[in-house]
A and B are shown apart, each in its own frame.
Chain A
Amino acid sequence: MAPQYGGASAKAAEMNSLSDVGSGLLERTKGRKLFRVGSVDIPFLMLTMIILGIGLIMVLSASFARAYYETGNPTKYFVKQLLFSGAGVIAMLAISRVELSFISRFSFPLLGVSIILLAIVPIIGVSKGDATRWIDLKVTTFQPSELAKLAVILSFASLSCKTKEKMKTFRYGILPFGIILAVIVGLLMLEPHISASIIIIAIGAIMMFLGGAEIKWFVMLGVFVGAAGALILAKFGYAIDRIKIWQDPFSDPLGKGFQIIQSLYAIGSGGLLGVGLGQSRQKYLYLPEEHNDYIFSIVCEELGYIGAILILTLFALLIIRGFWIAMHAKNRYSTMVAAGLTALLFLQVFFNVAVVTNLIPCTGISLPFFSYGGTALMLQLAEMGIVLGISREIPIKRAG
């Protein structure tokens, strides 16, 4: 498959956009290059919608019991999630119409806003447990770290596209990115928010990797992180609660190990075929966060290994399609944004599944399209909108 860079077939794309709603309106504005024409990538859209639909059903199932016992209204969380997803889909489709070059103008302002918000979160934010990560928007809450992830992708793409071949140098290819990441991670540590820090560092590294940074830096970083990690493990290892619980959740079954044990009970109870949709018993106030971070455990319990694998396969297909779109994007910037957003999606899915199955030590990461949370879902869909927008630039290959 040859790369299709350049606006080679803008006309062809235009011709194929007839099916798009409101294309007439778009034709009037297309001269300003603000709105896109062309067809979105149907597989990517369909996968997104299917996953979103399953996610919504699972929010209903998982949140039902807690909503009933704690608020008396069993569909409270579901209805809220449904409204946000409706708004999110509209936002996704709208954003898919917006020219990436227009969005790219907001890369650095978005980064600035993110950093400011992260800086004020510890002061004005609301706390849950020991952490202060949320800004109260009255109707819902909002995590600036979510916005920071998007800002990192957009700004790193812009930056590396400007830097180009100088990416190979430390001064241009590593240092500026490193400084941005250091600032963000530093602010996240004030909340504190380890999982977001890990995701930000990972997505930052992926963007630098895509941007053309030398492999040796990654090797050096890998060796450094590996050595430091091994050292910390060897020296403190079991003294670090998180590690201790990870290796043996039953060492504190009613305390720090409680959540992961309950998660394993849920997943293990599911077996191959699951207990059936809506039939989870672990959701009856045993498993904390059953409709948020740990919703995948309920999925496993109710739908079994087969259901879980099916959902993971849908995610895998979505991710593969996202990278496919990136590879076919019209320019370097589009490729980087599409690949970055897809990589972000992957990181969220991977860390979430790895955490709830105790593959890695426990931390709080939500599962895209599944976990309850209005703003996160809307942002997620908006990001998908950006990828869909990029997919509009890809000309449809004619048969023959």
Chain B
Amino acid sequence: MAAEKKKAEQKANTQILRRTLFLLVVCGILAFIVMAAHLYKVQVRDHEYYEQKAIEQQLRQTTISASRGTIYDANMKVLAMSASVETVYISPAELKMYKEDPEFIARNLSSILGVGYDDIMKKWQDTGSWYKTVAVKIEQDVADKVRKFKNDNKIKSVHLETDTKRYYPYSSLASQVLGFVGTENTGLEGIESRYNDYLKGTSGRIVRAATSNGTDMLYTKFENYVDAKNGNSVVLTIDSNIQYYLEKHIEQAIKDYAILNGGMGIVMNVKTGAVLGMATLENYNPNNYKEISQKAKEKLAGKTGDDYLKALSEAQISQWRNRAISDTYEPGSTFKTFTLAIALEEGLVNEKSNFYCGGTVSVPGRDTPVHCWKSAGHGNQTLAEAVQHSCNVAFVNIGLKIGAKKFYDYMDAFGFFDRSGIDLYGEGESLWWDKGVFENPKNLSQLAAASFGQTFNITPLQLITGVSCVANGGKLMKPYVVSKILDPAGNVIKANEPKMERQVISEETSKKVCAILETVVNGGESTGANAYVAGYRIAGKTATSEKIGQGSNDYIVSFVGIAPADDPQIAVLVILDTPDPKTGIYISGGIMAAPAVGKIFADVLPYIGVEPVYSEKELATINATVPYVKNMSVDEASKQLKDKGFDVRVVGSGATVTDQIPAANITVIKGTQVIIYAGDAKPSSMVSVPNLYRKTYSQAKSALEAAGLYMRTSGVAASSSSTIVVSNQSVSSGSSVPLGTVVEVTLIQSDTSVMETRG
């Protein structure tokens, strides 16, 4: 029994040992092999996958924004620049963590930033957030106030972040050329868009390891700093002064002639193709590019909801459009320049050629004859007279002489079929007849119309580029607006050299065309007379064209001028879209666009250093500046004034000059009588300005003299011609002004019989 029990016990003991050994093997060895194998899978085999994922969440990247490059004009005046601004944001999570007073912070931020107190309080409620923006693009001084508040009160839940803001110091000047910058430092229009890659720079970044709360890890130095690379600067060929003159005179013309759809203008260096000025009016302020004009706002009145938003967006897109390169139009008579140039180049006409205009000309393939704008006809004319008269009949005949194929080939050579390739986005595409249609020998009506600039569309840029080619000796230049690109240190990294596309006409032909076009302006009786500027030789051509597909009362009037005519340097094109017929002013390029181009030349030519050379006739009527003669002896003062071409009248009997009328530095017509006071007091009476409208030069001058006022002129050459009259006076009639005030009058050629309408 005992032995049996002992045996059973031994058996049980053996069993427990076996079972313990089993556990030892399973728990101590096998299970660990399983764990090691599985761990190997996660830790070694999938190491890269998990490490990558872990790094993604552990690294925080902070962007350091690069400063966008500056846009300079040709004289290194700043047209667009970036300045640092800051963003203020709050961190509700930190507010909670550091137990800061939300109301206190909100109250202070609200008063510093002008942000609503309730808005800030609302943002605090998102307690899980580390980033809630309170104010963006705030100026440095305001940011400093926030910083001071933060430091003074040791506040941890308010943060500042640096960003940049774009400034355009000249606000709307050249706005469509410059464009603007949207969010994320991306240029959206104009130079800002076209040269974005150069301007934007490369933003830098700080990569660092962070805790899941975004704070720095302790003792773990992992930081990678990549410095921001500031953007390069762009130097334009555009000269802000020339741009200013261009915009000013187009704006004035829009006002004077009630132009309904704005205007465009380009000033080009004919020798290089560099654009010196390019304007589209109305323009906008790139500092606030979403703001639309008052006129556009009126059109939006009454619209609501989606209609309003759609109309607003259309108004914005339309004001941003650089129409001088994007719009196409039917150029009309300015295009006769090219017909003339081709015919002269091909030897088909010469200065002695005669053209008869009976008012109509029939063209093969056309049922009805082509009418000249002057239905009575121009009669017998020389080539120059045909150009001066802008005679359609003569030009149809010239065009037919050239022939469709040759004409079409020249159009290609002048670059009218292709985009000019200017360094701006959004260049429009011209619209032409197909070669087959145009060159159909049975139907020459397309050729006939094209000869005087109709039935096709080109951009203003294409026209002035072609005119520059005609003016500069026949070289077609590629237009450009950027002269060079500078790195942040100011070194030139890229320069745009003038690029000649091809020689289109000979130098000789170029000279001949310029000479003929000069007679259009200085002829006095011809269509371009109003572009005249005393002392300068200006060549040019007018145009008045009907807008295709619109009511017959809608016209585009334009003028393209070249100066100086004997050695062309610049070309100016002004286009005015749709003068309001209700004003009663005769709608014509010669009446409306030519004076604007004349004024632009009058400002720009002296500015670029072209010295005026006056003819004797001009010398009699040109303006001169009154010198400062006060405190001089009467004799000395008289001598100086006489040397400058002024008459002198002395009032009083003193030996020294005590006062003078007009005051020093005022420009008046030469020969004006200057009164110097020697001891006697200058009278301070006020006089009323007479109405000078439609008065001739001499009538206006005597009217002003009678009132004790002085006259200065601008516009066409002052002459005794009865058709040259005052169109505008700088001080409106009836105003009360001090005795001796200078009134500027604008003279125009008012003979509408010489002003073409359509053609």
Contacts and interface: CB of A to CB of B under 8 A. Distances in A.
Contacts of A69: 211, 213, 215
A69 B19 CA distance: 49
B42 A264 contact: yes
Interface string B275-308: 0000000000000000000000000000000000
A165 B24 contact: no
A281 B222 CA distance: 10
A65 B210 CA distance: 12
A268 B20 contact: no
Interface residues of B, number: 46
B15 interface: yes
A71 to B, nearest CB: 13
- Which 7 A-B pairs give the minimum distances between C-beta atoms? A268-B50, A323-B24, A284-B211, A265-B54, A320-B28, A346-B27, A285-B212
A84 interface: no
B8 to A, nearest CB: 6
B332 to A, nearest CB: 69
14 contacts: A164-B12, A265-B51, A267-B39, A268-B51, A272-B47, A281-B217, A282-B58, A286-B54, A319-B24, A320-B29, A323-B27, A323-B28, A335-B16, A343-B27
B368 interface: no
Given A284-B217, A327-B20, A353-B39, A5 B13 contact: yes
A327 B13 CA distance: 10
A327 B19 CA distance: 10
B20 A332 contact: no
B402 to A, nearest CB: 76
A92 to B, nearest CB: 21
B21 interface: yes
Interface stretch (B30-38, B233-241, B713-721): B30-38
B209 A332 contact: no
B38 A357 contact: yes
Nearest to B56: A265
A350 B220 contact: no
A209 B35 CA distance: 24
A192 to B, nearest CB: 26
B12 A272 contact: no
Contacts of A270: 43, 47
A315 interface: yes
A367 interface: no
B46 interface: yes
Contact of A281 (B46, B54, B213): B54
Contact of A309 (B21, B39, B220): B39
B493 interface: no
A308 interface: yes
A3 B21 contact: no
Contacts of B34: 359
Nearest to B11: A165
B24 A320 contact: yes
A217 interface: no
B219 interface: yes
Contacts of B20: 210, 323, 326-327, 335, 339
A284 B58 CA distance: 9
Contact of A350 (B31, B49, B212): B31
B40 interface: yes
B28 A316 contact: yes
Given A267-B43, A353-B35, 8 more contacts: A3-B13, A268-B51, A270-B43, A284-B212, A305-B39, A312-B39, A319-B27, A350-B27
A393 to B, nearest CB: 15
B218 A165 contact: no
B18 to A, nearest CB: 10
Contacts of A266: 54
Given A65-B218, A266-B54, A271-B43, A332 B12 contact: yes
A64 interface: yes
Q: Of B19, B29, B39, B55, which is in contact with the most chain A CB atoms at under 10 Å from its CB?
A: B39
B17 interface: yes
Given A320-B29, A343-B27, A350-B31, A305 B215 contact: no
A300 B43 contact: yes
A339 B16 CA distance: 10
B2 interface: no
A279 interface: yes
Nearest to B8: A165
A353 B38 CA distance: 10
Nearest to A286: B212
A350 B17 contact: no
A243 interface: no
A132 B57 CA distance: 33
Interface string B505-522: 000000000000000000
- Of B32, B43, B211, chain A has the most CB atoms within 10 Å of the CB of B43
B54 to A, nearest CB: 4
A65 B217 contact: yes
Contact of A265 (B12, B21, B44, B53): B53
Interface in A282-341: 282, 284-286, 300, 304-305, 308-309, 312-313, 315-316, 319-320, 323-324, 326-327, 332, 335-336, 339
B19 A268 contact: no
Interface of B: 8-9, 12-13, 15-17, 19-21, 23-24, 27-29, 31-32, 34-36, 38-40, 42-44, 46-47, 49-51, 53-55, 57-58, 209-213, 215, 217-220
Nearest to A211: B16
Given A268-B43, A308-B39, A358-B42, A336 B12 contact: no
Contact of A346 (B28, B58, B215): B28
A267 B209 contact: no
Given A267-B43, A357-B42, A3 B17 contact: yes
Interface string A143-170: 0000000000000000000001100000
Contacts of A126: none
A206 interface: yes
Nearest to B211: A284
A361 interface: no
B47 to A, nearest CB: 4
Contact of A312 (B12, B23, B32, B54): B32
Contacts of A279: 220
A211 B15 CA distance: 9
A354 interface: yes
Nearest to B17: A327
A236 interface: no
A308 B40 CA distance: 10
A272 B45 CA distance: 9
B212 A212 contact: no
B58 A281 contact: yes
Contacts of B57: 265, 286
Nearest to A270: B43
A375 interface: no
B54 A268 contact: yes
Nearest to A315: B32
A270 B27 CA distance: 26
Given A209-B19, A320-B24, A64 B218 contact: yes
A316 B23 CA distance: 12
A342 B20 CA distance: 10
Contacts of A269: 47, 50-51, 54-55
A65 B23 contact: no
A102 interface: no
Contacts of B50: 264-265, 267-269
Interface in A46-90: 64-65, 68-69, 74
A271 B23 CA distance: 31
Contacts of B32: 312-313, 315-316
A271 B44 CA distance: 5
B469 to A, nearest CB: 66
